[in-house]
Structure 1
Amino acid sequence: MEIIRLPAFNDNYIFLLVDRATGDCAVVDPGDAEVVLEYLSKEDLTLKTILITHHHADHVDGNRQLLNHFPAAAVYGSEIDLQKRRIPGQTVSLKAGDHLDLFNRTVEILFVPGHTQGHIAYYFPPLRPEDSGDLFCGDTLFANGCGRLLEGMPAQLFASLQQICDLPDNTNIWCAHEYTLKNIKFSLTVDPENEALQRRFQRVQTQRQRQEPTIPTVLALEKQTNPFLRCGDRQLQANLKTTDPLRVFTKLRGKRDLF
Structure 2
Amino acid sequence: FGTVYFGDRSRCQLRIYNKSKEIKDKRKDYFIDLYERRGMDVDRVWNVEFEVHRDYMRDFSNMATGETRVFDSMDYLLRYDGLSMLWTHLVTRFVHDSAFWRVLQQGDPDKFVQCKNYLFRLRDIDTEKRREVAQIRGRLQMLVLNEELPPDADVLIESLKRFVVMCGDYEEETEKDFPADLRRKRKRYMDLQMLKFLLSEKRKTTDDMNVLHTMQAEREALKITRAREVRYLGEEKELMDKNKIKTPARQGKPKRVREIR
Q: For the superposition of Structure 1 and Structure 2, which TM-score range results when normalised by the shorter chain?
A: under 0.3
More strand by share: 1
User: TM-score, structure 1 length as denominator?
Assistant: 0.22
User: TM-score, structure 2 length as denominator?
Assistant: 0.21
Please identify the structure whose Cα radius of gyration is greater.
2
**RCO higher in structure (CA 8 A, sep ≥6):** 2
